Structures are given as C-alpha cells and as structure tokens.
C-alpha cells in the first residue's frame, strides 16, 4: 500500500505553533549576519541616507556609538565601505589606499573598541575615482584590468594593516583574487582572510547604494566587468576561478534575485559562501511596508530564511543593524 491521504496528513506536522517549533529550521542567528556600513570623514557625523531609510553615513565616533546595539545583539561582523571627501577623488582612486582615510581609521577604531567583532572591508575604487568606475580607465573607456588589480592589492594591504579580518574585493576584475593574495602574503598578512565578491552581477538593485556612496559611474555602466544576469555558466565560472586563485570565501550578489545561483554554487564548492542582500532589496521591502503592502518584519524574516535555505553561510545585510525589530520574538507572533 502506498502511503497517502487520508492516512498521511502533512498538516499534522505544522498544525500548532508548538509543533512548528519542533520541526522548523531556526532563523539564521545574528552571528551569521554582517552589517555593511558607510564611513566618511568628520568623526561625529551621522548623516541619514535617503535611499536607505534607517542607514547612515557615519563618522568614526558616531559609528562606534551605533555599533553598540548590534554588537550586543551578537552580529557576526561589520563590512566597511569608505567614502572620501569629494575633493580627494582622482582618476586612479589613490585615496582608497591612504592609511589615514576614513575606512582605515574606522577599522582601527572598531578593532580597538570591539576586538571580538570580525571586521570586513570592501576593496574597490569606484567611491574614490572621479569617473566612478571600479578601476582606472584605458583611453577607449574600458577599465584597465591589470592596473586595477595592482591598485586593489594596495587597498587590501592597507586595510589588512589597519586590522581588517577579511578583505573583500568587489571590482570583478580578472585575477584580482590572486593579486590580492600575493600582495597580502608579501606584506606579512598571511592570516588575513580573502572574501571574493566572486559572482557579482551587473544588477539594477545597487541604486540606493550608489546614492549612499555617490559612486555611480559618470558615463557608461558596469556591464563590461560585472557578471551578466543572462549568462549563468560564466557567472558560476567566476566563482570557480576565484576559488582556484585562493579565495577563502565566495559570494553571490545580489541575493534574492539569484537564489538559484546560490543553490547551484552551494553544490559545487566546499568553501563558505556569503550572500549580499543588497541595498535595492532592503529598500524594496522598506518601501512596500511604508505603503502598507506588507508587514516589514514578516517580509524581512521570510527573505533571510530564503537566503539561508538556498545555501548562504553568511548574509551581508543592512537589517543587521535593526535586529531588535526584526529577529526578536517567536515565529508564532509573525503573521505572514
């Protein structure tokens, strides 16, 4: 006899909150969440970001204050994005490897104030170049791949020297992982982890971030280096190559529109995988909730579950600063 209805009734497993507690996987804990933050010159500054409600551009002192809550909640780490004064941008992005720039100062201050918190840094040039691309431009307007790799390696070394636990190149240049690993090892930073933004798509979901960072390309777009949404095989090769080049962690970005990529990558690698729940994904839920189109807490929880279920070990998410609101309480109280 094949087991089926009416003997089998799957609703028995989920009929009550008590039973659901027994069989449901837990929410990803705060220790799996990493908070991306923007740091700028001007130590006391705490400037609201219009496109990312609830997120700020921080001076170093203000960041230390606002970190207290998330650290007490037990977040897994911080991902630092540095912003230069507008006047310090140039065509090569040299301010990115200035040891006294906001990102490097923030890393030092955070490691001093919260030595047990893992500090990640974004390694890219787009916030530091006048043209807003992720590396220096060739005369034909394309990013100069190998020059970008050399510059990114200098940035990573300066972040490691400031005390970063994890450096994370996000420029999508060929060979950037190998270039960073070699430079880190030569600089005596063999213990610094390297998390590659290994499969990073040319996505329309980065808009709020680019407003926060004022890093939108002045002309053209990033499709000449970021992975194509419509080419899955090459997107997966990007992660495979970065693994071969010595990445310690891989990443899929964005997260929610690319859960299939995350799930496939999970089957192909034994490396830890991070998923970046990007600015547009955050802003989308904030906007929907503000317009009464859904319950913010329930939508956020469901989306974090989905990212975890698809195979992410770590989730880079702006929600990490709002865990009190998002994670507290039992699932029974959250009405989908």
Cα angle 265, 268, 269 (rounded to 5 degrees) comes to 90
Span interacting with Zn ion, options 6-14, 26-34, 131-139, 305-313, rule CB under 5 A: 131-139
Q: Which of 62, 94 has the CB closer to Zn ion?
A: 94
Q: Which of 32, 89, 111, 253 is catalytic?
A: 253
* Nearest-approach distance from CB 17 to ligand PBG, in angstroms: 34
Taking a C-beta distance cutoff of 8 angstroms, is the pair 46, 39 a contact?
no
112, containing H or E segment:
helix 102-113
In the set 118, 124, 251, 323, which binds Zn ion (CB under 5 A)? 124
Instruction: Give yes or no: 253 in active site.
Output: yes
Span interacting with Zn ion, options 55-63, 119-127, 252-260, 293-301, rule CB under 5 A: 119-127
301 binds, among ligand PBG, Zn ion, none (CB under 5 to 8 A by kind): none
What is the Cα–Cα distance from 318 to 276, expressed in whole angstroms?
Answer: 10
* Nearest-approach distance from CB 167 to ligand PBG, in angstroms: 13
Nearby residues of 282 by Cβ (< 8 Å), 6 or more positions away:
52, 55, 208, 317, 318, 319
Q: Which of 222, 297 has the CB closer to ligand PBG?
A: 222
192 binds, among ligand PBG, Zn ion, none (CB under 5 to 8 A by kind): none
What is the Cα–Cα distance from 8 to 287, expressed in whole angstroms?
Answer: 42
Taking a C-beta distance cutoff of 8 angstroms, is the pair 235, 216 a contact?
no
* Nearest-approach distance from CB 152 to Zn ion, in angstroms: 10
Nearest Cα neighbor of 171 from 158, 153, 152 is 152
* Nearest-approach distance from CB 37 to ligand PBG, in angstroms: 11
Give residues in contact with ligand PBG (CB under 6 A): 122, 124, 126, 134, 170-171, 206, 209-210, 222, 278-279
Nearby residues of 39 by Cβ (< 8 Å), 6 or more positions away:
57, 58, 59, 60, 63, 80, 81, 82, 83, 102, 103, 105, 106
Taking a C-beta distance cutoff of 8 angstroms, is the pair 180, 167 a contact?
yes
Q: Which of 171, 265 has the CB closer to Zn ion?
A: 171
Cα angle 330, 333, 334 (rounded to 5 degrees) comes to 100
Q: Which of 192, 279 has the CB closer to ligand PBG?
A: 279
* Nearest-approach distance from CB 181 to ligand PBG, in angstroms: 19
Q: Within 133-192, which residues bind Zn ion (CB under 5 A)? A: 134
Q: Which of 32, 89, 111, 200 is catalytic?
A: 200
Token reading at 40: 């700028």
- In the complex, which residues of this chain contact Zn ion (CB under 5 A)? 124, 126, 134
What amino acid positions are annotated as catalytic residues? 200, 253
């Amino acid at each position: 006899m094949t087991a089926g209805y009416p003997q089998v009734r799957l609703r028995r497993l989920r009929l009550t909150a008590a039973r659901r507690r027994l069989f449901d996987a837990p929410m990803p804990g705060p220790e799996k969440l990493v908070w991306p933050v923007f740091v700028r010159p001007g130590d006391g500054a705490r400037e609201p970001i219009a496109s990312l409600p609830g997120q700020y551009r921080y001076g170093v002192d203000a960041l230390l204050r606002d970190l207290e809550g998330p650290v007490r909640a037990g977040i897994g780490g911080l991902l630092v994005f540095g912003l230069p004064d507008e006047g310090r941008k140039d065509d090569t992005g040299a301010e990115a490897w200035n040891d006294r720039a906001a990102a490097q100062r923030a890393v030092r201050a955070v490691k001093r104030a919260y030595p047990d918190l893992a500090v990640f840094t974004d390694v890219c040039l787009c916030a530091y170049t006048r043209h807003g691309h992720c590396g220096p431009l060739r005369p034909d307007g394309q990013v100069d791949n190998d020059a970008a790799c050399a510059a990114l390696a200098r940035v990573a070394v300066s972040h490691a020297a400031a005390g970063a636990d994890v450096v994370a190149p996000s420029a999508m240049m060929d060979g950037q992982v190998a270039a960073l690993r070699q430079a880190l090892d030569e600089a005596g930073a063999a213990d610094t982890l390297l998390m590659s933004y290994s499969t990073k798509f040319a996505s329309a979901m980065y808009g709020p971030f680019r407003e926060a960072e004022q890093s939108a390309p002045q002309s053209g777009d990033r499709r000449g280096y970021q992975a194509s949404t419509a080419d899955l095989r090459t997107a997966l090769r990007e992660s495979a190559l970065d693994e071969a080049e010595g990445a310690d962690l891989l990443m899929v970005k964005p997260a929610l529109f690319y859960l299939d990529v995350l799930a496939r990558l999970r089957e192909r690698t034994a490396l830890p995988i991070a998923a970046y729940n990007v600015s547009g994904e955050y802003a989308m839920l904030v906007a929907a909730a503000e317009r009464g189109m859904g319950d913010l807490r329930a939508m956020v929880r469901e989306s974090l579950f989905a990212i975890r279920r698809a195979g992410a070990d770590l989730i880079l998410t702006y929600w990490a600063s709002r865990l009190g609101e998002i994670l507290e309480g039992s699932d029974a109280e959250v009405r989908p």
